[in-house]
Structure 1
Amino acid sequence: MLYFAHEFHRALLTPVTAWTKALADSLANPANPLASVPGVSSLSAGYDLTHRLGKTYEKPEFDLQHIDRDGRRVPIVEQTILEKPFCRLLRFKRYADDVVTIEQMKQEPVVLLCAPLSGHHATLLRETARTLLQDHKVYITDWTDARMVPAGAGSFDLDDYIAYLQAFIRHIGASNLHVIAVCQPTVPVLAAISLMASRGEATPRSMTLMGGPVDARRSPTAVNSLATKHSLAWFENNLIHRVPAGYPGGGRKVYPGFLQHMGFVAMNPDRHMQSHYDYYLNLVRGDEESAESHRRFYDEYNAVLDMSAEYYLQTIQTVFQEFRLAQGTWTVRGEPVLPQAISTTALMTVEGELDNISGDGQTRAAHDLCTGISAHDRRHFTAEKCGHYGIFSGKRWHSVVCPQVRSFILAHHGAAQNTDFEEALVA
């Protein structure tokens, strides 16, 4: 009933938000004589803010059309490489028409950027991907909103998630691949590579785990406390709902994105209130640059997706309640997860000093588990004055974190073995 009530409320708000948007645009239009009347800018700003607070936020586009490299504009084409019911493997392919750039890009590392499946869309890592594209070939996991997956496609749990990652790694080719996991996927990525190593399969050259709950017992945050405070039955009874009719996944049990979004906002309500108030003041003052920055952030932050109930509940139990990876008790479809089996994949962990989602030491714990990796092939980096989102976006990602990740990947990168004729023209 909660999901139905949410949809009903959203339907009621749609005409209101459309009306407030029209009023805001009309009153802010310089061609409108009322625009110069004292006080109208405040009225227009109020309507605009009301529109943004009530509107529905759809999944944004990656919109990675080009990068600027050594004074040249390099076009980017988004390609779907593999498509599974709950995820697409995308590649941002770079094109060039000069021999020097082509030869440089051919030799650059291949990166699989594993986006989190924790409420936001993979486009949250748009800026991460854009920066990496300067000197890497970039693939990304683009998770599908569970309400858009037909019920006939079956269920999806954490074990399936791991199987997806392994399929993607095999398809790209592990021998020249570097995997970067941001937040939630640090755990399944480590599990996927552990299982591949135990089977004797080729594993990626390196894995970089950033701000994730490898061992959620360390420096527990509000996120961790919520998981341990309630039983699994509580989560199932209170947070799991069926997708209403009208969506492809109608009837599917999910953890709704709107509930996750409420949780995100509840962690820092004062900061969000202040941000919206500042947006209103910027509109009144005519500071369009600051207002547009606010829109870009919240267009992404407010766009959320539903997660399969099986996946969500299994993650809560495995990662945040029973700590199976950290305690060495995790099995995936009958196979034990043994991080100590990894020996040929270098490991880097990244944490933010001010991270209030994955606490201090939670990601660094991977080093205690991956005892088969030599000390020479392991590195940890803590970004000072950096919060959770700052380790993969914003100024500190560009100036502090990314250079560290780049140097680590290059240190463990060999000459690429390109056999595909297409690779001679594009990268």
Structure 2
Amino acid sequence: MLYQLHEMHRAMMSPLAAFTDVGSKLFSHPASPLAYTPMARQLAAGYELVHRLGKKYEKPEWQLPFTEINGRSVAVNEETVHQLPFCNLVYFKRDVAEKIRRADPKILVVAPMSGHHATLLRDTVRALLPNHEVYVTDWIDARMVPAVNGSFHLNDYVRYVQEFVRFLGPDLHVMSVCQPTVPVLAAISLMASEKDPCLPRSMVMMGGPIDPRRSPTQVNRLATTKPFDWFEEKLIHTVPANYPGAGRRVYPGFLQHAGFISMNPDRHVKAHYDFYLDLLRGDDEDAEAHRRFYNEYNAVLDMSADFYLDTIRMVFQEFALPNGTWEVDGKLVKPADIKSVALFTIEGELDDISGEGQTRAAHDLCKGIPAKRKKHYTAPECGHYGIFSGRRWRTTICPQIAEFVRQA
């Protein structure tokens, strides 16, 4: 019922969003006479702020048409090279000679399925493109997946990762950001136990809850202070009839988005007020930066209820991976079986989603990897998003990953 009420509210807001969008343009566009009337800038700013608060945010485009290699601009074509019901494997094909493609490391970026689209990693991909062949898991909004395609559990996520790794072959490096560090470690552990010839050369794990018992955050505390039944009763809803996935049980994106906002409400209120002031001052650069960030931040997707509930129970309540109790298809997940895959873990000192030490726990679990093939880096004064986007990511973290994968 809550999902239906949300859809009704959004339908009611659509006329207001459209009206304020037109109003902001009437009072700001150089060709409009109204743009030169008294109070025009204030009216345009107010209209745009209301428009952005009430509009529907669709999945953003990747918008990575070019990269720069050795000082030369190179075209990049986005291609879907493998499709599964809940995920597309996207390849960012650079217009370079085949010998350059073979020379640069092939890296699979496993994007999180945690409410946002994979395009949240745009800055991650942009920084990797000059020196890597980049593939990304582009997870599909669960409300857009017809119910006939069946359910999707956490163990299915593990199988998807394994299928993509085998599809791309053994000369591969796997990079997981946030939530997927857990299923990626499970996938590679199972492949190592089976002596799979397609094992990747390295795995880079960034800001993920390998062991959430270490430095617990607000996210971890919510999962441990609420009983499992609470999550199913309060957060799981059914996709309404106007979507292809009608009838599918999901954790709706709008609830996840509300959770994101509630973690730092003051920061978001200030950001929108600053945006209004930027519009009044004519500070177009800062205003556009706000638009870009919230176009991404406000675009959310629904998660399969089975996947979400599995994650709550197995990752955050039972700690199945660090406790050694996780089974996939009857096979125990044993990270200690990994011996040939190099490991690089990255954390942010100020990460308020995956606390310090949670990702580094992979080193203790992967006892079979020689110490010389392990590396850890804690980014000083860096929050969660800062480890995969922004200046510190581009200038400090990404170069370390490039060096690590080449050594591996």
Give the TM-score of the pair, scaled to structure 1. Answer: 0.94
Q: In 2, Cα distance between the equivalents of 1:70 and 1:167? A: 34
Match in the other structure for 1:32: 32
Q: In 2, Cα distance between the equivalents of 1:341 and 1:162? A: 17
Match in the other structure for 1:305: 301
Match in the other structure for 1:42: 42
5 Å-filtered alignment, 1:263-412, equals 263-412=259-408
| Residue 333 of structure 1: how far off its partner (Å) | 1.7
Residues 378-424 of structure 1 show CA distances to partners (whole Å, capped at 9, x for unaligned) of: 00000011100000000010011111111111111xxxxxxxxxxxx
Match in the other structure for 1:105: 101
Q: Which amino acid aligns with 1:199?
A: E
Q: In 2, Cα distance between the equivalents of 1:31 and 1:248? A: 42
Residues 334-370 of structure 1 show CA distances to partners (whole Å, capped at 9, x for unaligned) of: 1100000000000000000110000010000000000
SS of residue matched to 1:133 = helix
| Residue 40 of structure 1: how far off its partner (Å) | 2.0
Name the % identity: 59
| Residue 66 of structure 1: how far off its partner (Å) | 1.2
Aligned CA RMSD, in angstroms, stands at: 0.9
Q: In 2, Cα distance between the equivalents of 1:155 and 1:102? A: 40
Residues 21-69 of structure 1 show CA distances to partners (whole Å, capped at 9, x for unaligned) of: 0001001122333323332211110110000000000001112211122
- Is there any run of 5+ residues in structure 2 with no aligned partner, and where? none
Q: 2:179 aligns with which of 181, 184, 191?
A: 184
Q: In 2, Cα distance between the equivalents of 1:143 and 1:43? A: 39
Q: Is the 8 A contact 1:115 1:181 kept in 2?
A: yes
Residues 272-301 of structure 1 show CA distances to partners (whole Å, capped at 9, x for unaligned) of: 000000100011111111111000000000
Q: In 1, Cα distance between the equivalents of 2:185 and 2:71? A: 38
SS of residue matched to 1:88 = strand
Match in the other structure for 1:3: 3
1:54 aligns with 2:81: no
Q: Which aligned runs of 4 or more in structure 1 are off by greater than 6 angstroms?
A: none
Q: In 2, Cα distance between the equivalents of 1:406 and 1:384? A: 20
Q: Is the 8 A contact 1:242 1:253 kept in 2?
A: yes
5 Å-filtered alignment, 1:199-210, equals 199-202=194-197, 203-210=199-206
Q: 1:256 aligns with which of 252, 255, 279?
A: 252
- Is there any run of 5+ residues in structure 1 with no aligned partner, and where? 413-427
Q: In 1, Cα distance between the equivalents of 2:233 and 2:291? A: 35
Q: Is the 8 A contact 1:21 1:47 kept in 2?
A: yes
Q: Is the 8 A contact 1:179 1:208 kept in 2?
A: yes
Q: In 2, Cα distance between the equivalents of 1:90 and 1:30? A: 40
Residues 225-252 of structure 1 show CA distances to partners (whole Å, capped at 9, x for unaligned) of: 0000111110000000000001000010
| Residue 102 of structure 1: how far off its partner (Å) | 4.6
Q: Is the 8 A contact 1:105 1:135 kept in 2?
A: no
Q: In 2, Cα distance between the equivalents of 1:271 and 1:405? A: 31
5 Å-filtered alignment, 1:230-241, equals 230-241=226-237
Match in the other structure for 1:415: none
Match in the other structure for 2:84: 84
Q: Is the 8 A contact 1:220 1:359 kept in 2?
A: yes
Q: In 2, Cα distance between the equivalents of 1:61 and 1:34? A: 32
Q: Which amino acid aligns with 2:324?
A: G
Residues 173-202 of structure 1 show CA distances to partners (whole Å, capped at 9, x for unaligned) of: 02x100000000000000000000001113
5 Å-filtered alignment, 1:159-238, equals 159-174=155-170, 176-202=171-197, 203-238=199-234
